[in-house]
Amino acid sequence: MTRWERGEPPAGTDTASDPGEPVTRADEPERRHEALVSVRLGPSAPGSHLVEYLRHEPCAVAAWWIAADVDAMVRLSADSITVLHRAVADLRLRAGVEVVEANYILRALDLTTPADPRTAKDSPARVGSAA
């Protein structure tokens, strides 16, 4: 069972900092680029091949088997956007999977403070009337 499955914060997470701010160490760059990638297994690529590939991929942070139109979700993280794009392309070329969709993460949402729709700065503006 992983730390995430036990409800514990991921390794290296600083719970004292703001949830929207990335955790940085002296040996890490200030900004990380991340993506959530939906993949479908190819006809000649068993799931074990994907798992083995991700174990050796330095950009792979986490992955989940899911019950949907796709087979798995993969979370990738890199120091630069170029390296992140390369990691997404390598999923196709080396892991033998079809990348259905790559969603690049912009920033984390703050789930610690309840949002008041009258004062929330990050909430999208409502368009139209409720009637």
Q: 49 CB contacts (<8 Å, ≥6 apart)? A: 95, 96
The answer, as to whether pTM is greater than 0.85, is no
- Place 127 in a pLDDT band, splitting at 50, 70 and 90: low
Instruction: Give the tens place of pLDDT for each residue, 89-122.
Output: 999 888 889 888 999 998 888 888 876 666 656 5
What's the CA gap between 74 and 76, in Å, rounded?
Answer: 6
For the ranges 18-27, 41-50, 59-68, the maximum mean pLDDT occurs at 59-68
